[in-house]
């Protein structure tokens, strides 16, 4: 497979990177308020360049580009560990809505996502259950007054507290379906491992909802895996660069530690892992965006490889920064925590590898 970004896509990357660089590096959160709020100025500026609506059709207020352009933005946001609901709202929720084919729901909800004025959260995973399956404990029951009522608990819901609308996956007569619900008082904030990402739990007890349609689970799985892979590889690339620069400055025995052969080997291992994973991330992004027949396979491979590459770089970053790497004020711990949390979000590497069908010898 031969793949290259177009000049327009590279210009999009440069524009987003310049905007994010202008806002500086990752913000180390306060111990008293571990999950920082999104920068409203940055969120507005992302909207001004059309980032929120890149993969949303023009008739719904979007740009009418493809998911691949959106993943370029996700990669750049990952590069700076930018907090905010872009992944959960502009990517996961928007793509889930589009995949249902419900024109009325898209007309009602997508314009707000495209403008950045409305935040949606996809309530998908459940406590103590295997990830990315096709059956759920959350159920829907018909109600003459409210249409549908939902019962169950959802966990690891990105930006649940900030969301204006919830998209909930629930069983409807044995079929996994997607429902629209208002957060009301059903959302509880969770203390995340990743201090740069908001998560919450959604408790549903007779919560009124609207049926959107059958939940497009495979599409949701592929998009989630490809998007998280892009986010992780963006973070891994920039953090590896910062580590290399640090090894040029930190000295031991009168020499920069980067000159020692053992350090060079560790950095080389990181570089190979990141570059290999980056190729898979781009292949998965292209396949999921174009509907290629290998989309699910490549998305699973990319999520697995990018998770492990980022975890390696994050761990080495702690070691090679020495004492400063374990201080709260340094960003090293933010990468370690995001890498660990992202490993368990939307399926672990082991889970994704288990989904791959190996060729017979």
Q: Is residue 67 part of a domain?
A: yes
- CATH number reported for the structural domain that contains residue 48 in this entry: 1.10.540.10
CA dist list (Å): 112 to 53, 108, 209: 9, 8, 19
Nearest to 155 by CA among 185, 119, 130, 178: 130
| Chain segment 223-265, per-residue pLDDT in tens | 999 999 999 999 999 999 999 999 999 989 999 999 999 999 9
Nearest to 113 by CA among 75, 198, 64, 56: 56
Higher-scoring residue by pLDDT: 308, 38 = 308
Percent of the chain with pLDDT over 90: 76
| pLDDT given for residue 34 in this prediction | 56
Instruction: Answer yes or no: is pLDDT of 32 > 70.
Output: no
Q: Is residue 313 part of a domain?
A: yes
Residue where one domain finishes, among candidates 184, 215, 246: 215
- Same domain membership, residue 143 and residue 40: no
Residue where one domain finishes, among candidates 215, 240, 267: 215
| pLDDT given for residue 35 in this prediction | 59
Q: Is residue 18 part of a domain?
A: yes
Tokens representing 140 are 């829907």
Question: What domain range is 172 assigned to?
Answer: 122-215
Q: Is residue 128 part of a domain?
A: yes
- Same domain membership, residue 35 and residue 144: no
| pLDDT given for residue 361 in this prediction | 43
Q: What's the rounded Cα separation, in Å, for the pair 123 and 273?
A: 32
- Same domain membership, residue 338 and residue 235: yes
Band (186; pLDDT cuts 50, 70, 90): confident
Higher-scoring residue by pLDDT: 32, 112 = 112
- Same domain membership, residue 113 and residue 76: yes
To the nearest 10°, the Cα dihedral for 95, 101, 104, 110?
10
| pLDDT given for residue 24 in this prediction | 78
Q: What's the rounded Cα separation, in Å, for the pair 257 and 205?
A: 57
Domains: count for the chain: 3
Nearest to 306 by CA among 335, 266, 332, 275: 275
Instruction: Answer yes or no: is pLDDT of 360 > 60.
Output: no
Residue where one domain finishes, among candidates 95, 118, 141: 118
Instruction: Answer yes or no: is pLDDT of 116 > 90.
Output: yes
Q: Is residue 2 part of a domain?
A: no
- Same domain membership, residue 236 and residue 210: no
Q: Is residue 101 part of a domain?
A: yes
- Same domain membership, residue 348 and residue 230: yes
Nearest to 164 by CA among 230, 111, 101: 111
- Same domain membership, residue 265 and residue 140: no
- Same domain membership, residue 225 and residue 332: yes
| Chain segment 264-322, per-residue pLDDT in tens | 999 999 999 999 999 999 999 999 999 999 999 999 999 999 999 999 999 999 999 98
- CATH number reported for the structural domain that contains residue 322 in this entry: 1.20.140.10
């Amino acid at each position: 497979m031969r793949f290259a970004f177009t000049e327009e896509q590279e210009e999009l990357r440069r524009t987003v990177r310049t905007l994010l660089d202008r806002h500086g590096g990752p913000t180390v959160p306060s111990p008293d308020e571990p999950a920082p709020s999104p920068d409203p100025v940055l969120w507005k500026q992302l909207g001004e360049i059309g980032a929120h609506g890149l993969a949303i059709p023009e008739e719904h207020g979007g740009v009418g580009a493809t998911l691949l352009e959106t993943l370029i933005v996700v990669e750049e946001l990952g590069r700076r560990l930018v907090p905010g609901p872009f992944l959960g709202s502009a990517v996961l929720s928007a793509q889930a809505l589009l995949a249902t084919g419900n024109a009325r729901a898209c007309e009602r909800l997508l314009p707000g996502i495209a403008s950045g004025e409305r935040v949606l959260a996809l309530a998908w995973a459940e406590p103590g259950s295997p990830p990315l399956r096709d059956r759920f404990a959350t159920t829907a029951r018909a109600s003459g007054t409210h249409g549908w009522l939902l019962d169950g608990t959802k966990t690891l819901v990105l930006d649940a507290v900030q969301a204006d609308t919830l998209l909930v996956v629930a069983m409807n007569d044995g079929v996994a379906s997607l429902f629209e619900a208002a957060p009301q008082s059903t959302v509880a904030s969770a203390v995340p491992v990743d201090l740069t990402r908001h998560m919450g739990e959604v408790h549903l007890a007779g919560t009124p909802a609207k049926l959107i349609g059958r939940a497009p689970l495979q599409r949701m799985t592929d998009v989630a895996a490809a998007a998280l892979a892009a986010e992780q590889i963006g973070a891994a690339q920039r953090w590896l660069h910062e580590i290399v620069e640090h090894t040029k400055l930190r000295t031991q025995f009168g020499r920069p530690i980067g000159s020692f052969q053992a350090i060079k080997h560790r950095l080389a291992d990181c570089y190979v892992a990141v570059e290999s994973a980056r190729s898979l991330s781009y292949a998965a992004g292209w396949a999921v965006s174009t509907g290629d027949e290998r989309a699910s396979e490549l998305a699973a491979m990319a999520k697995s490889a990018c998770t492990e590459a980022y975890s390696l770089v994050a761990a080495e970053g702690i070691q090679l920064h020495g004492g400063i790497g374990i201080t709260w004020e340094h960003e090293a711990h933010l990468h370690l925590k995001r890498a660990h949390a992202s490993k368990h979000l939307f399926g672990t590497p082991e889970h994704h590898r288990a989904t791959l069908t190996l060729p017979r010898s």
